[in-house]
Amino acid sequence: MRHTHGSIEVVCGSMFSGKTDELIRRLVRATIARQKVQVFKPAIDVRYAAEKVTSHAGANFDATPVEKAGDIRKRLEAETTVVGIDEAQFMDAEVVQVAEELAGRGVRVIVAGLDTDFRGEPFGSMPELMSKAESVSKLHAICMTCGDEASRTQRLVNGRPARYDDPVVIVGASELYEARCRQHHEVPR
């Protein structure tokens, strides 16, 4: 089943907010509707399985790892009508152009990723993808300090907040990161 109009949907938020679960939910619904779905993820993300997108809760969906966003064009099958891209913040800047091209050809593009890095600053191409998307869903986690709604990702080094000048990209899960609210998010300089 082809879509009459392509679109870009962005699912964003902090770590542990359910972004990948929501991406998988949308992909499963598209599959039930007999749409041809392909999913891509950055090759750098090998936390759970190299050829699956996997949520922290354990849900998964088959995916193709790519070194750069332009590889999506090469791996895309002609009959594909829905493209999922997980961890888009790790993709190079070309991910925006690829998503725009696919949507322009009538493909539904669903992108999931962190909107901000551990410093609380815009992450990779996510801000541009959000500005070009037809819809943006910002999800929230639970602050590990106070239990309120969390919109930030706290990186920890030996149990203490990472410093502002630490590397931006370190792939990990609960051993390195936790969700925090604005009040409890710390980034020492």
- What does the pLDDT average to over 26-43? 96
* pLDDT class of 18 with cuts at 50, 70, 90: very high
Report pLDDT for 57. 81
- Distance, in Å, from the CA atom of 157 to the CA atom of 186, rounded to the nearest integer, reads 12
Could you state, in order of their start, the residue ranges of all structural domains in the chain? 7-139
- What does the pLDDT average to over 104-121? 96
Report pLDDT for 58. 81
pLDDT digits (tens, 9 = 90+) for 63-111: 999 999 999 999 999 999 999 999 999 999 999 999 999 999 999 999 9
Q: 35 or 1: which carries more pLDDT confidence?
A: 35
13: CB partners within 8 A, 6+ apart: 19, 114, 115, 138, 139, 140, 141, 151
The percent of residues above 70 in pLDDT, for the chain, comes to 93
pLDDT digits (tens, 9 = 90+) for 122-161: 999 999 999 999 999 999 999 999 999 999 999 998 889 9
pLDDT at 117 over 70: yes
Q: In what order do the strands lie in the sheet with 160-161?
A: 160-161, 152-157, 177-180
The percent of residues above 90 in pLDDT, for the chain, comes to 78
- What does the pLDDT average to over 159-173? 82
Q: What is the DSSP letter of 150?
A: E
Is 178 catalytic? The answer is: no
pLDDT at 55 over 90: no
Report pLDDT for 50. 72
Contact indicator for 59, 28 with CB cutoff of 8 Å: no
Q: Which two tokens stand for residue 148?
A: 């309120």
pLDDT at 1 over 70: no
Fill in the amino acid letter for 107. Answer: V
114 closest CA partner among 101, 94, 129: 129
The CATH code of the domain at 7-139 is 3.40.50.300
Beta bridge partners of 5: none
- Distance, in Å, from the CA atom of 11 to the CA atom of 109, rounded to the nearest integer, reads 11
Q: Which of 87, 101, 134, 149 is catalytic?
A: 87
Length of the chain: 189
Report pLDDT for 172. 59
